[in-house]
Structures are given as structure tokens and as C-alpha cells.
Amino acid sequence: MLDVVIIGGGVVGCAVARELSRYDLRILLLEKTADICNGQSKANTAIVHGGYDAQPGTNKAKFNLLGNAMFEQICTELEVPFKRNGSLVVAFEGDDEQMIDRLFERGQENGVPGLSIIDREEILRREPNLNPTAKRALLVRNAGICCPYELTQAYAENAACNGAEFIREAEVTSILPNPQSGWLVRSMAGEFETRAVINCAGIYADKINDMVSQDHFSIHPRRGEYYIVDKKYAGKFTSTIFQIPTRLGKGILVAPTVDGTILLGPTADDIQDRDDTRSTAEGLKKVLAGAGKSWPELPGRAFITTFSGVRAHCDRDDFIIGEAKDAPLFFNAAGIESPGLSSAPAIADYLAKMVAKRLKAAQNPNFDPHRAAIPKFREMSCQERKLAIAKNPDFARIVCRCETVSEAEIRESIRRPVGARTVDGVKRRTRAGMGRCQAGFCTARVVEILCEELGKSPLEITKCGGESKMLTGFLFNRGGGEE
């Protein structure tokens, strides 16, 4: 019997697993898809927000501020790239400048440290590539950028090393009260008896809640589309550039990433299908129009790819965090949209303490907060590279040329706890295929390495699980097998 089943392997679920692994508990995380970090945790703006935006008194305001302050420590412990680059909310000529004052006041009320309002001269001194019609801006010094998939994977790896179990392709189909334990969780990967359940199911969190609680809420998928700008333009912007927020969200951003690319986006379109992560012609056009306002010199052929993510917007317009009123030991972390990444460390900390207290859990004496990142060949010094290759010659075999990812890193990403099983899984763990050739050169080799490591046939390798097979057949009949 288990103590806790966590439903959902996004950043919140994995963070909760890690924080709960501080306690002497049997923890299982069930993820519906073929990999953790496969929903909005992988497809967002990769921002650690300052906390000025949310309505004072909301969970969003509270957890954003708390979470933001935790990033240095978390990202040091888990060796995840994080940078406090600051953000600017810019009012351009013709915009409602008063909004800047209102955001400043809201930020003050939320307790955001280090806010100030700056004028055009100071804006352009900081960001010389910004549209010079910028008039005023809110400077948010505590805002940062982080790699959301590396954070999620790091949480998961650390949780696994501290005893938590992870099962992927384990969609939860029902949750029933169970006199012996508390709950019986039925999934595509089997049934699990557990004392507590934590719902971190992202865009499906309402469906999971409906399985046990009468206190309903509903999640409305809201899609955001993005462009990624080539690393060649790294350094064009230091801060994350926001425009005046709209009813649907924080507007189109120009957001530098920890990897040197720049994200443009997101749009905010309410959609029907929760899994509809398509890019659309209209959406991409909106992104360019919006980003062009902040970055007038936006180069036309600078994009390496597009993506889109679906936000779990909740009808209550706030995070729902805590034990369900009518379902003891069933906890929700629901309606987690922006600022979800920023809030994740604080939500996990809060929920883990609450759950541990309710379960009267003792500390895990073997808990180790540290997770070592997969060594990144591209970031090593010459001397470090020599040593790495001396220890493991696979470091000398560069598989992804654009991002200089070695075979050693790819193999390790597969061998790690909660390791990669798919081509996209390798990509998110190592950046192989994320560069400007978008996997043109490395795909075939990554498929081969996955086969070698997992003992699979190339025909079994998928891009992202399910039916996303990379290959459809052998050209020739191989050794008596059926074609």
C-alpha cells in the first residue's frame, strides 16, 4: 500500500513528489503520457514572474511571490539553469500609461520587492533594441528565467533518488474510496491503494477532481502560441519584455531564455480540445505582430521553430490548492496556469507540508536535496572537456551539432531515473535536436541510441509516445522476422 499517489507529471506534480520525498512516505507519481513534463510545463514562456500581476489576496499572488524567492535555492540544489534577468512591462506611445502605475501599486500591495517605474531613457539604456516609442516601464528586478523542462526533470530525478516511484503511460481512470487505505486509484498501469491522492493533473485537473468531489470547478483550455528565435540573436534583450496586460493574459512577450534563444509569444485563445497544441496561421501572425511592437527590428528569417501550449485556465480564476472539502486526503493543485512555473516550488512546499502533517509522516532520514545535472559538454571548459572525454570517450562523439550535445549526455539522459524513452524525451533532457537544424542531423543517431539503450527495435521508437512512431518499416526483411 502507498501513502501518496500524485496524479500528473508536470512541474507541480514532480515538485510535489520531490518535496514529499523529504518524508518517510511511499510515493507514486502517475503520468498519463509517455513522459513527464509533457504538457504546459514544457510549453510555456519559461519565466519566473515577479508577482505584480495577480490580484492581491489570491493564491496566484501568494504562491508567485513565495515561489519566486525560492528559485535560487531550488535551482542550486537541483542544478537547473536560472537567471534573475529582470523584466520590463512597457507602455508604448498610445498605450494606457496609467496601467504602469496600477501594476506598480498592485505589485506593492502583493509585496513584490524592488519595483520601480523607469522612463524612456532608462528603458532604452537597458534595452537598446526595444522600440524607441517606449514611454514608461515597470521594472521588475526580481523577475527571472528558468528552463522549465530541466526544472521538472530535476525535481523528478531528485524525487526518484529519494525513493519516489514514477510510472508513465498511466492515465488515471477512476478514484474510489477504499476502506482499507483511503483511496483506490485505477489507472492504465494498474490499481493502487493509497492513503492520500494529490491532483496535479494540469488541464485535466477538473476531471480528476470530479472523480471524488462534489465541489466542482472547471478547466478551460487556453492556447498560447510561440516562435523561438535563433541563438544568433542572443543578447538582443537582457530583460523579459512585457507589454500592457490584457484581459486574457500578459500579452505577447519577448523573452530571452537561459539557453540563449528568445521566445516570442504567447497568444491567448480559448479552445475546445484540451490537447490541441496546434500552431495556427492566425496565432503565429498575432505573435509576430505583437512581438514586432516591442522589437521593431525583429528579423524575418530568425526562427528555428514554433510551438504552442495549453494553459489550464480555471473558472475560479485562481489556483485551487489544498484538501478537497468533501474528500479527506484528496488534495488539489488545480487551475495552475501562469504564474504556475514561478509558483511551483512554493505550491509543492506548501502541499507537501500539509500532506505530511495529515499523514503524520516522519522525516526521511536519507533525503538528499541535491541532484547533479547531466554534464553539458557545450558548457565545459577545455580542461573539463579533456577530463570528461578521458573518463567517458562518448563525450567526444558529438551527436547534435547545433547544440553540441555528446553521445554521453544522450545515453545518460536515458539511463537516469525517470529517464528519456522517446526522441522528444532525449531532446528535452539534453537539447539534442533543439538547435537550428531542428534534429535534421541527429534524429537517426538518437533513434539508434534509444534502441541500444532500451533494447528496442527502431520501429518501436516514438517521437513522444503513443502512435508517434518515427519509422514505419524495414526496407528489407530482417532475419526471418515478419515484414
Give residues in contact with another protein (CB under 8 A).
227-228, 275, 277-281, 283-284, 301, 303-307, 382, 385-386, 389-390, 393-398, 401-402, 404, 436-441, 443-444, 448, 458-459, 462-476, 478
Q: How many other CB atoms sit within 10 Å of the CB of residue 54?
A: 24
Cβ 417 to another protein, closest distance in Å? 26
**Residues near 455 by beta carbon (within 8 Å), at least 6 away in sequence:** none
Cβ 105 to another protein, closest distance in Å? 39
Contact 203, 222 (CB under 8 A): no
> 194 vs 462, which CB is nearer to another protein?
462
The Cα 142–Cα 188 span in angstroms is: 42
Scanning the structure block, which residue is given the C-alpha cell 543517431? Answer: 445
> 130 vs 450, which CB is nearer to another protein?
450
Cβ 151 to another protein, closest distance in Å? 22
> 271 vs 396, which CB is nearer to another protein?
396
Cβ 243 to another protein, closest distance in Å? 21
234 residue type, one letter = A
> 1 vs 459, which CB is nearer to another protein?
459
Task: Classify the C-alpha dihedral 318-11-443-287 as positive or negative.
Answer: positive
Q: What is the 3-state secondary structure (H, E, C) of 67-126?
A: HHHHHHHHHHHCCCCEECCCEEEEEECCCCCHHHHHHHHHHHHHCCCCEEEEEHHHHHHH
Among 49, 216, 313, 370, the one annotated catalytic: 49
Cβ 458 to another protein, closest distance in Å? 6
- Bin 14: left if φ > 0, else alpha if -120 < ψ < 50, else beta: alpha
Tell me, what DSSP letter sits at residue 218?
A: -
Cβ 170 to another protein, closest distance in Å? 18
CA-wise closest residue to 294 among 146, 84, 123, 97: 123
28 residue type, one letter = L
> 6 vs 228, which CB is nearer to another protein?
228
> 121 vs 467, which CB is nearer to another protein?
467
Active site (annotated) includes residue 370? no
Which residues are part of the catalytic machinery?
A: 49
